[in-house]
């Protein structure tokens, strides 16, 4: 019988603790910035799909909402975050909660100033709180973050619902179904991609995500199939004349989706994953930067297309 020895954790010296606290707090505050910036272009893409002039202030409000929800999630943390984001362990939660409050208030204020219902920020924020903290009923705690597939569906619905609420003055029956289903599927796929990045911590914490249960290969096959079905359907709407935005948007979205699914469903030891895992900016660009790339491609197509 083996004996494991446990030693009390030695407190960090005051100077070292202060350094780690500042670094951890800054890391926590900036951790959600790439996703927040990406969400600006996510809503911008929604306006492109609707073929209306993008409302920059609403895109900014959407970015503030995303920052508040995901910073709150990181501040609350969980067992899996102790492994996946151990560098944030010493961060000041008080400062993080203040940033969450500021961002959420800014989102509500922008919606109100634009004549839209604050529900577009309030309801998904409440869902985000449920996602992070969960609900305790008796001796059981229900937490969306740890449910197999459930959290991916809920996050997809929440994002898609928020985009609909931010753009509802420009929606009709057809565009409502297209925008809602497109962003639900795309963003549900994205959450599985994030799970592929966090497999190690999730497995150690006992969190049953799709990649943990099915493995990289089967997860990749499922996501590629969903990505293909989504963009074939989107292309059909464009060709049939129900949507007026250029076909290049569907092509870019489908190609980028297929590429980053292929990259992140490779096992950790493959060369492409080694390159991506060593370069955090490249990981953020592949997933969080997808919407920026779509906007750039569509804008360039519209500008240069007039010369051909």
Distance, in Å, from the CA atom of 262 to the CA atom of 266, rounded to the nearest integer, reads: 7
3-state class (DSSP) for residue 265: coil
The reported pLDDT for the residue numbered 106 is 94
Q: Is residue 2 part of a domain?
A: no
Which parts of the chain sit beneath pLDDT 70? 1-20, 77-91, 128, 131-147, 267-270, 273, 276-277, 279-284, 305-308
Domain count, the chain: 1
Q: Is residue 284 part of a domain?
A: yes
Are residues 121 and 169 in contact, defined by beta-carbon separation less than 8 angstroms? no
| Half-sphere exposure (Cβ direction) of 241: Cα atoms closer than 13 Å | 0
Tens of pLDDT along 161-181?
999 999 999 988 888 988 999
Whichever domain contains 295, its CATH number is: 1.10.600
What domain range is 130 assigned to? Answer: 17-135+142-303
Q: Is residue 27 part of a domain?
A: yes
The reported pLDDT for the residue numbered 25 is 80
pTM (two decimals)? 0.80
Tens of pLDDT along 104-154?
999 999 999 988 888 777 877 777 677 666 656 566 655 655 567 777 888
Q: Is residue 251 part of a domain?
A: yes
Distance, in Å, from the CA atom of 236 to the CA atom of 229, rounded to the nearest integer, reads: 11
The reported pLDDT for the residue numbered 15 is 44
Q: Is residue 31 part of a domain?
A: yes
Q: Is residue 6 part of a domain?
A: no
The reported pLDDT for the residue numbered 9 is 45
Q: Is residue 185 part of a domain?
A: yes
Q: Is residue 7 part of a domain?
A: no
Contacts of 265 (CB under 8 A, 6+ apart): 196, 211, 216, 217, 219, 220, 223
* Other CB atoms within 10 A of residue 147 CB: 17
Distance, in Å, from the CA atom of 193 to the CA atom of 9, rounded to the nearest integer, reads: 35
């Amino acid at each position: 019988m083996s004996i494991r020895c446990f030693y009390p954790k030695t407190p960090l010296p005051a100077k070292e603790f202060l350094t780690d606290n500042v670094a951890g707090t800054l890391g926590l505050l900036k951790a959600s910035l790439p996703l927040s910036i990406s969400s600006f272009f996510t809503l911008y893409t929604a306006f492109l799909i609707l073929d209306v002039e993008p409302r920059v202030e609403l895109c900014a409000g959407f970015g503030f909402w995303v920052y508040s929800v995901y910073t709150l999630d990181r501040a609350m943390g969980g067992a899996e975050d102790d492994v996946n984001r151990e560098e944030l362990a010493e961060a000041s939660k008080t400062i993080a909660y203040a940033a969450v409050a500021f961002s959420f208030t800014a989102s509500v204020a922008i919606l109100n100033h634009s004549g839209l219902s604050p529900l577009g920020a309030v309801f998904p924020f409440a869902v985000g709180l449920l996602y992070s903290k969960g609900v305790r009923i008796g001796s059981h705690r229900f937490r969306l973050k740890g449910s197999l597939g459930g959290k991916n569906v809920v996050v997809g619905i929440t994002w898609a619902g928020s985009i609909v609420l931010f753009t509802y003055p420009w929606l009709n029956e057809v565009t409502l179904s297209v925008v809602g289903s497109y962003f639900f599927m795309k963003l549900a796929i994205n959450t599985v991609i994030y799970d592929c990045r966090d497999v190690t911590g999730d497995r150690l914490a006992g969190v049953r995500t799709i990649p943990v249960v099915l493995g990289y290969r089967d997860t990749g096959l499922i996501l590629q199939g969903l990505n293909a079905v989504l963009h074939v359907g989107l292309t059909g709407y464009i060709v049939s004349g129900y949507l007026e935005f250029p076909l290049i948007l569907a092509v870019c979205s489908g190609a980028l989706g297929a590429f980053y699914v292929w990259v992140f469903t490779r096992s950790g030891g493959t060369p492409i994953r080694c390159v991506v895992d060593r370069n955090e900016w490249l990981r953020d660009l592949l997933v969080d930067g997808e919407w920026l790339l779509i906007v750039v491609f569509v804008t360039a197509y519209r500008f240069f297309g007039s010369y051909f």
